[in-house]
Structure 1
């Protein structure tokens, strides 16, 4: 694949609730562009993005996938994020690597929990948001009800740019409100242009007026022109739509059926024509070594600044690092500085990922996304920079794990392989955590839910050959003191020769919560030899670790 200028690159993330059809839409985009010759299905387990055995078995996406698509002399880097709440870590990291988001909504199920969650994440990052209403060919598909839900959930910035022609099994095309034409799909993924059917005018004419109003309301100058003239020329509408979308003031709604590849080519057209390029998104903020804020513009000649948004294990090449370059460029056989870890990494062969396939690239310039293998010190969330100016991009805030399992290997002697496997899985997924609990003597894994931990356990077996047993993690109950107390202990030992005799008086009282343990020695004048005193403190600490009543 050739190297593209930043102005000709589009970085897009597909988000939405699980089951809304993101993976199928991703597949349809690849098919419509000619990147693949046949569409796979989730049910058959042969899609480009769901190539992991866990995904094929569960028929859901459990890991972030990406593929570049060449369309109308532009390169579209499409990322497909899991829609299940258990795998939200990939969504949070990937949203930092793109310039716009497509929220996929099922016309059957409407707006769901993860739809709203993904939307709010995009709002936090100030990313432009478009909506693709999918599955309009299914029974019980209702575009108007879905649109009403979108407006109710996300406000009047939601504006339909297209309307469906036909409903459910009769859905066969779209009415383009922006250019006032119909796109029909009698066969194949490419549309045949025609006039609006007569029956669509009564719905499309008022919808187009509302679209013009929405575009005008996104810009003060346009609203004045609209109020004076009563309408806007098509070129002004198109330019206003792009400006409103780029600045996240307008959320266009597109329609289609991913499984039938209806509306996909028009969605790709809009991505190339109206979605912001990395140049349009403006500079990114970085944090300098001294803590002060700086900015990095999308300039391939500038100092290197790149963000690692995903790491994964490949059975053939090992550790793979996926990164987005914001400034400068990354070349093969060069060295980069990982400013997060404070170490240098040697870059070998660079490539672009298409599902599990690798395509070698000559460089990854500012605005583009690439991948590299075998970087031992680099993890998800790290920043690549120059050694003389080791800036860092703001870190990604990840949620706290919600579920814990205690695990142990089924076979004795697999402890080392288990430790290695857990460490590798932890590097791939920052929301997966591992800890050794010294109080309960258990190895405990933490994750976002049953599906999340179930996938990690299956990967331990498939990738590292370790089968494990799981059980609920034990809870270590703690005791504390609530008042002052004084006690005396005696030590008497006579076993021939010199006997041993000692008396120890201990006073205890509570400290404010969280202040821990303070030991004071109140022996005066050297009445007791110094070498005996530390034993008292050791005995107290040991008893504290075990507990007095329950221990």
Structure 2
């Protein structure tokens, strides 16, 4: 950050190791899809010497070779780790997908990192989802910096994009979002657009020319100095405003010349504590070049300005009996506490867990305790088991480079943890501990699937279990009412990747079928029915007759059975049989095949035979009586209604409310929230919001969020109910 030409110790193909938390930096890259995060990671790896000039590691693959799906879809779909070494500091660069469907991978990156780089395209700007992630980082005080990419495009304007970033990210204090460097352009190119060939360091007034593929330092010409003075003065004022030395501003305003070392130290401290957010520019290296524009400056910012794991707040964990323990964070000699931030499957080594060690030191071949994570509602069972750690490694493209250990603050891949899932805690077997679970977005898009063939059906259960173990943002539902297997996903792209992984990784082919909502049936009024089951075919026959009355009950009452038989018309031992038959028929439905609810069934009379009556006969008679009563009554179909809350920018409130109305929704309230957004509360039939996640994204340009929860069942409009009944009759 002091604009010095630094040496580095990275070597192509060698995995850097860390022996102390002070020599580790964990940084996550955040930005929308297409902003250039993965390209930036490769440029940093090239500059640090982790890859060769062709951007390839020793095995011939690139540093970003992770998943065949990513190559086919031409976008990142999962969190990836690229460790590089810069001046003796191990920098763990966590590249996250920019697409909203993979926000779970972003959450994992934020959990594992101590600082964030927000990557913003000079041609595309800042999208709503990036803005929301910035606010999340601000809420926890995570240090942040901004990198502007795509400066080579014709529409690129670094100064204008810096102004936009200050407006969007620095809403409370625009002077805390300022550039450290200005682009240096070299005359207009063939398209009339002046290409960026270097940077001007505002603090040192030095030029850094990257046009040759190397970083060359020089003094600015007299005609260039006036261009940087205004930006330099504003930067100095911004740094001094964040200084812990309260006399510095008075000295500066009094005309004193503040020395460079003081400014750099104050800048580094302000960045590390998350109160100043520098803006930098970066571009990939030209073909054959060794350094990409701005990559040295960015690596220096990470090394000198971003916090070490030692500067993270203290760690609060709990024992198996729920008692809290406060640990000294990042003590390599302390109790082992590590967390699985990502789980994936490798065709050769099996399950691989990406682990962040928060306390202690993790070593290969030791036995650790694995504690569950509280996501049972998503198909992840809680567990407390001991497992033996396999090999430790650092990922590099498709390779895993062996590590001898992983100290507190560092990240590593762990092989052969067969029971550990994303979000689990690893600790010592004699001192088991559990970290608090991290917040995961709710999957709100249902995808109903079924096995394509009998061989697929045999493998489906295991394949789904392994798929869900890797992805805590996915929820697996075995719907008992509709008998469907449902994958709840974060969007269509998330679902596509899940189904492709089932097919390619686990060898399970599935078909997507229409998702069915769990409807209910109920009686609209009183009705009576008589069930007669009489058969005689030699030997013991079957004889049972019963008369019932059915009446509706308030919502949520379930099925109530009342015995009002007098005179022993139905022997006492067969009354439970009638109830069993009634309840079995109610579960199967009486009109469209959906469970019957909220009725009282009263047994009034019946007949029995001393020889031919039996439990089975009266069960059948009870079911027949309920069906007859339904045949003479009006049956209402009940649909589930959800309580929906939508958080949306004020610009889109009208469109969202109109859309909810078109879904038969009832808006029950609105309230203003911070940041120019409105919270809309509504009640909407669940049958209308199966794809609401996708449609809301389109309506709000990806800036709105919504949540849903079950409220109640209520009668479906007659015309829709008639259509459902027709579909039930036409079903095979």
Superposed CA deviations along residues 437-459 of structure 1, whole A, max 9, x for unmatched, are 33333322221222111122222
Given candidates 184, 208, 214, the residue that maps to 2:232 is 208
Which residue of structure 1 lines up, in the alignment, with residue 448 of structure 2? Answer: 406
Structure 1 stretch 229-238 or stretch 84-93: which is displaced more?
A: 229-238
Which residue of structure 1 lines up, in the alignment, with residue 343 of structure 2? Answer: 311
TM-score, normalised via structure 2 length: 0.70
Which residue of structure 2 lines up, in the alignment, with residue 327 of structure 1? Answer: 359
Superposed CA deviations along residues 68-120 of structure 1, whole A, max 9, x for unmatched, are 10110110011100111111111112211111010100111111133213323
Are 2:390 and 2:417, in contact at CA under 8 Å, matched by a contact in 1?
A: no
Which residue of structure 2 lines up, in the alignment, with residue 185 of structure 1? Answer: 210
Residue segments in structure 1 that go unaligned for 5+ positions in a row: none
Which residue of structure 2 lines up, in the alignment, with residue 116 of structure 1? Answer: 131
Given candidates 191, 197, 217, the residue that maps to 1:172 is 197
Which residue of structure 1 lines up, in the alignment, with residue 181 of structure 2? Answer: 162
Using the TM superposition, give the Cα deviation of residue 527 of structure 1 relative to its aligned residue in structure 2, in angstroms: 7.8
Question: Residues 197 and 517 (structure 1 numbering): CA distance in 2 closer, same or farther, change over 3 Å?
Answer: farther
Using the TM superposition, give the Cα deviation of residue 462 of structure 1 relative to its aligned residue in structure 2, in angstroms: 1.8
Which residue of structure 2 lines up, in the alignment, with residue 72 of structure 1? Answer: 87
Using the TM superposition, give the Cα deviation of residue 320 of structure 1 relative to its aligned residue in structure 2, in angstroms: 0.2
Q: Give the structure, 1 or 2, with the largest relative contact order (CA under 8 Å, sep 6 or more).
A: 1
Are 2:61 and 2:398, in contact at CA under 8 Å, matched by a contact in 1?
A: no
1:463-482 pair list within 5 angstroms: 463-481=505-523
Are 1:84 and 1:114, in contact at CA under 8 Å, matched by a contact in 2?
A: no
Are 1:163 and 1:175, in contact at CA under 8 Å, matched by a contact in 2?
A: yes
Using the TM superposition, give the Cα deviation of residue 525 of structure 1 relative to its aligned residue in structure 2, in angstroms: 10
Question: Residues 413 and 275 (structure 1 numbering): CA distance in 2 closer, same or farther, change over 3 Å?
Answer: same
Using the TM superposition, give the Cα deviation of residue 511 of structure 1 relative to its aligned residue in structure 2, in angstroms: 4.0
Structure 1 stretch 98-107 or stretch 522-531: which is displaced more?
A: 522-531
Q: 1:309, 1:544 → 2: CA distance? A: 46
Are 2:370 and 2:387, in contact at CA under 8 Å, matched by a contact in 1?
A: yes
Q: 2:320, 2:67 → 1: CA distance? A: 39
- SS of the residue corresponding to residue 111 of structure 2 reads coil
Are 1:311 and 1:428, in contact at CA under 8 Å, matched by a contact in 2?
A: yes
Q: 1:490, 1:55 → 2: CA distance? A: 61
> Does residue 300 of structure 1 match 2:332?
yes
TM-score, normalised via structure 1 length: 0.92
Which residue of structure 1 lines up, in the alignment, with residue 49 of structure 2? Answer: 34
Using the TM superposition, give the Cα deviation of residue 13 of structure 1 relative to its aligned residue in structure 2, in angstroms: 0.7
1:38-77 pair list within 5 angstroms: 38-40=53-55, 47-77=62-92
> Does residue 425 of structure 1 match 2:440?
no
For the pair shown, the structure with the greater C-alpha radius of gyration is: 2
Residue segments in structure 2 that go unaligned for 5+ positions in a row: 1-15, 187-192, 287-291, 373-382, 594-732
Superposed CA deviations along residues 363-388 of structure 1, whole A, max 9, x for unmatched, are 11111101111111100011112344
> Does residue 548 of structure 1 match 2:620?
no
- SS of the residue corresponding to residue 301 of structure 1 reads coil
Question: Residues 417 and 183 (structure 1 numbering): CA distance in 2 closer, same or farther, change over 3 Å?
Answer: same
Question: Residues 323 and 502 (structure 1 numbering): CA distance in 2 closer, same or farther, change over 3 Å?
Answer: same
Q: 1:544, 1:165 → 2: CA distance? A: 76
Superposed CA deviations along residues 149-184 of structure 1, whole A, max 9, x for unmatched, are 111111122121111111755201111223332211
Which residue of structure 2 lines up, in the alignment, with residue 21 of structure 1? Answer: 36
1:64-463 pair list within 5 angstroms: 64-155=79-170, 156=174, 157-166=176-185, 169-188=194-213, 190-219=214-243, 221-230=244-253, 232-260=258-286, 261-296=292-327, 297-340=329-372, 341-463=383-505
Q: 2:143, 2:418 → 1: CA distance? A: 35
- SS of the residue corresponding to residue 279 of structure 2 reads strand
Count of aligned pairs between the two proteins: 544
Which residue of structure 1 lines up, in the alignment, with residue 640 of structure 2? Answer: none
Using the TM superposition, give the Cα deviation of residue 530 of structure 1 relative to its aligned residue in structure 2, in angstroms: 4.3
Question: Residues 409 and 182 (structure 1 numbering): CA distance in 2 closer, same or farther, change over 3 Å?
Answer: same
Using the TM superposition, give the Cα deviation of residue 207 of structure 1 relative to its aligned residue in structure 2, in angstroms: 1.3
Structure 1 stretch 361-370 or stretch 121-130: which is displaced more?
A: 121-130
Question: Residues 527 and 458 (structure 1 numbering): CA distance in 2 closer, same or farther, change over 3 Å?
Answer: same
Are 2:336 and 2:360, in contact at CA under 8 Å, matched by a contact in 1?
A: yes
Q: 1:198, 1:546 → 2: CA distance? A: 87
Question: Residues 448 and 200 (structure 1 numbering): CA distance in 2 closer, same or farther, change over 3 Å?
Answer: farther
Using the TM superposition, give the Cα deviation of residue 289 of structure 1 relative to its aligned residue in structure 2, in angstroms: 3.3
Q: 1:540, 1:346 → 2: CA distance? A: 53
Which residue of structure 1 lines up, in the alignment, with residue 530 of structure 2? Answer: 489
- SS of the residue corresponding to residue 154 of structure 2 reads coil
Are 1:283 and 1:295, in contact at CA under 8 Å, matched by a contact in 2?
A: yes
Q: 2:506, 2:460 → 1: CA distance? A: 8
Over aligned residue pairs, what C-alpha RMSD do you find? 2.5
Q: 1:499, 1:184 → 2: CA distance? A: 97
